[in-house]
Structure 1
Amino acid sequence: MVLIADSGSTKTDWNTLNTTDVLQNVQTIGFNPMYQESDDIYTELEKSLLPQLKEKAPSAIYFYGAGCSSPERNKRVSDALARLFPQSDIHVDHDLLSAARAVCGHKPGIACILGTGSNTCLYDGNKIIDNVPSLGFLLGDEGSGAYLGKLLLRAYFYRELPEELAKSLKNTYQLSKDTFLDTLYSAEVPSRYVATFAKFMHDKRKHPVIKEMIFENFELFFDRHVVKYDGHDELPVNFVGSIAYYFSDILKTAAKKYGLRVGTIIQSPSEGLIKYHQELLQKSGAPNNE
């Protein structure tokens, strides 16, 4: 039996599974070693995870998390887990690897995260072999919900939106420059706030101006990231995240322009990640109770 964790900054999904079944699914708060020390992670896990688990001794733990992008950060998580599960084999990796394993499985491909933020990688069926950096909210995140929000808000405040769209946006969010900037600069995670405006774009996605913005967002994403990978014109390009999922029709149209072959599009990596690890267990010949 193994324990799989898919952790964002807000929540973590924990699944215990054997070769054929998911034995238990629980949730805790999210963890990010960019902002949390090992002791803090351990304390929270002891309080919120351990009491929920029926199986206290998984043979292995696979933790995929936001912020798990360096050996030092990963060690903060693995040290906390090792204190709780001293007999378990512990693996800590970036959430980009969980996305790749969820959508590509054991086959090569290009994996893309399109949610609040964006990221991509070239995956060989086991590990990430190339990554065009995202650069985050301030300098990058093309293709993401935050970038969609930026395109919309710039057009609104620069008076470039058609009148009916501008009025609808203003009425929906009670939007003014001062209230927007106050909220933006006081937000704990500014990108998450800006990304909330993607919902308006989804509601209005059939309007030609909004549709063009969404298409531009995906064009920039493919231009600056996906086409940089060797084999992009042959390998399937797969997606995880709400923006890819809810704007999939326009995403596929943009991909066609670049001659890309769209593969899997899923909102959350959990189902694909469970399948990946069950296949690993089956290949290893692990008994169903281990």
Structure 2
Amino acid sequence: MILIADSGSSKTDWRVIHQDGKISQHRGVGFNPYYQTAEEMAIQMRDEFLQNLSDEIEQIYYYGAGCSAPERKAEVVQALKSIFPDSAIEIDHDLAAAAHATCGHQAGIACILGTGSNSCDYDGEKIVDSRPAPGYILGDEGGGGYIGRKLLRDFINQEMPSEIFQELKVRFHLTQAIIQDHVYRQPFPNRYMASFCRFITEHASNPYCYRLFYDSFIEFFEKHIFKYKDCKSKQVNFVGSIAFYNSDILRKAARDQGLQVNLIIESPIAGLTLYHQNKL
């Protein structure tokens, strides 16, 4: 059997391709070896779904955030080996997952707009160029953590419409102290900040919330897409919850910048499943 994982900082989609062609699936917590050790990831991987498969999986294809550097890939391998000691394991970056799922064997630009953000230029077989992805403190323009951070900063400074301020205050019991505790003292501040994007999406008809998304998407284009050669002549594809649930705003921002948006999907796992089925 084959186990496929598409993992971001917030969640992991797992798919199992059984010998008879049947497919089972599971959604669990996210992983990122830049922020977690192999031991920490291994503990979180020991859920019932994966434990029950430990003796049956022959091959694992894991696509994950933070898996570009060899030493980070080694951390993920070590975590997976704690559950699947006899399985062959291949680790690739989440950008490869986005490219395979949206571009297939066609050239194009593949982007991730989820909790974080990333992008690459893909020639139909391999990634030929990519932009730096320095993480949620130094980058992640257009990602959920980046957009949520803007919202929380504006809340602290009371630089938002009063109705949005009051609803945030009542609904989430927000105070400056609570925000700072989650951002500076609690684990996974990027997930915390990104969690407010659902609220922003729900209120996207409000010009303030609309602009949070629109302006952040424009920043993403400027930092990433416009730096790829002939970007305006290529189809641009997106993977991730921020892109998917705000696709109308994303398409408008891209159209205003002369970019050609093709696919916008929430998760690449279905495309990855098709890609790997021929390996049985």
TM range (shorter): 0.7 to 0.9
- Describe the shift of the 1:14–1:85 C-alpha distance in structure 2 as closer, same or farther (beyond 3 A): farther
Question: Counterpart of 1:129?
Answer: 128
TM-score (normalizing by structure 1): 0.84
Between 153-162 and 61-70, report the one with greater CA deviation.
Answer: 153-162
Which secondary structure does the structure 2 equivalent of 1:138 belong to?
Answer: coil
User: Mapping of 1:236-247 within 5 angstroms?
Assistant: 236-247=235-246
Between 210-219 and 47-56, report the one with greater CA deviation.
Answer: 47-56
In the alignment, structure 1 residue 248 sits paired with structure 2 residue 226 = no
Distance 2:225 2:7 in 1: 25
Distance 1:202 1:153 in 2: 15
8 Å CA contact 1:120–1:226 kept in 2: the answer is yes
Q: Which amino acid aligns with 1:36?
A: T
Question: Counterpart of 1:272?
Answer: 271
- The number of aligned residues is 278
**CA root-mean-square deviation:** 2.8
Question: Counterpart of 1:16?
Answer: 16
Question: Counterpart of 1:61?
Answer: 60
Which secondary structure does the structure 1 equivalent of 2:118 belong to?
Answer: strand
Distance 2:165 2:47 in 1: 47
Distance 2:29 2:174 in 1: 31
Distance 1:43 1:178 in 2: 31
Distance 1:63 1:216 in 2: 33
- After superposition, the C-alpha distances for 1:240-262 in whole angstroms (9 at most, x for unaligned) are 11110111101000000111111
Distance 1:50 1:161 in 2: 44
Question: Counterpart of 1:4?
Answer: 4
Question: Counterpart of 1:36?
Answer: 37
- Describe the shift of the 1:120–1:187 C-alpha distance in structure 2 as closer, same or farther (beyond 3 A): same
When Rg is computed on C-alpha atoms for both structures, the one with the higher figure is 1
8 Å CA contact 1:3–1:62 kept in 2: the answer is yes
Question: Counterpart of 1:168?
Answer: 167
Q: CA deviation at 1:13?
A: 3.2
Which secondary structure does the structure 2 equivalent of 1:137 belong to?
Answer: coil
Distance 2:13 2:212 in 1: 33
- Describe the shift of the 1:215–1:4 C-alpha distance in structure 2 as closer, same or farther (beyond 3 A): same
Distance 1:264 1:200 in 2: 24
In the alignment, structure 1 residue 90 sits paired with structure 2 residue 71 = no
Between 45-54 and 115-124, report the one with greater CA deviation.
Answer: 45-54
Distance 1:89 1:54 in 2: 12
In the alignment, structure 1 residue 179 sits paired with structure 2 residue 183 = no
8 Å CA contact 1:15–1:22 kept in 2: the answer is no
Distance 1:135 1:107 in 2: 28
Distance 1:173 1:265 in 2: 30
Which secondary structure does the structure 2 equivalent of 1:175 belong to?
Answer: coil
8 Å CA contact 1:187–1:193 kept in 2: the answer is no
Which secondary structure does the structure 2 equivalent of 1:139 belong to?
Answer: coil
Q: Which amino acid aligns with 1:25?
A: Q
Between 248-257 and 259-268, report the one with greater CA deviation.
Answer: 259-268
- After superposition, the C-alpha distances for 1:132-174 in whole angstroms (9 at most, x for unaligned) are 1122111211101112112222333323222222222222222
TM-score (normalizing by structure 2): 0.86
Question: Counterpart of 2:146?
Answer: 147
Q: CA deviation at 1:18?
A: 6.7
Question: Counterpart of 2:117?
Answer: 118
Q: Which runs of 5+ in 1 are unaligned?
A: none
- After superposition, the C-alpha distances for 1:167-192 in whole angstroms (9 at most, x for unaligned) are 22222222222222123222201111
- After superposition, the C-alpha distances for 1:26-79 in whole angstroms (9 at most, x for unaligned) are 456544444223x77668768856642297253x42111233221122233335
Q: Which runs of 5+ in 2 are unaligned?
A: none
- Describe the shift of the 1:11–1:153 C-alpha distance in structure 2 as closer, same or farther (beyond 3 A): closer
Distance 1:139 1:32 in 2: 16
Distance 2:220 2:189 in 1: 20
8 Å CA contact 1:113–1:240 kept in 2: the answer is yes
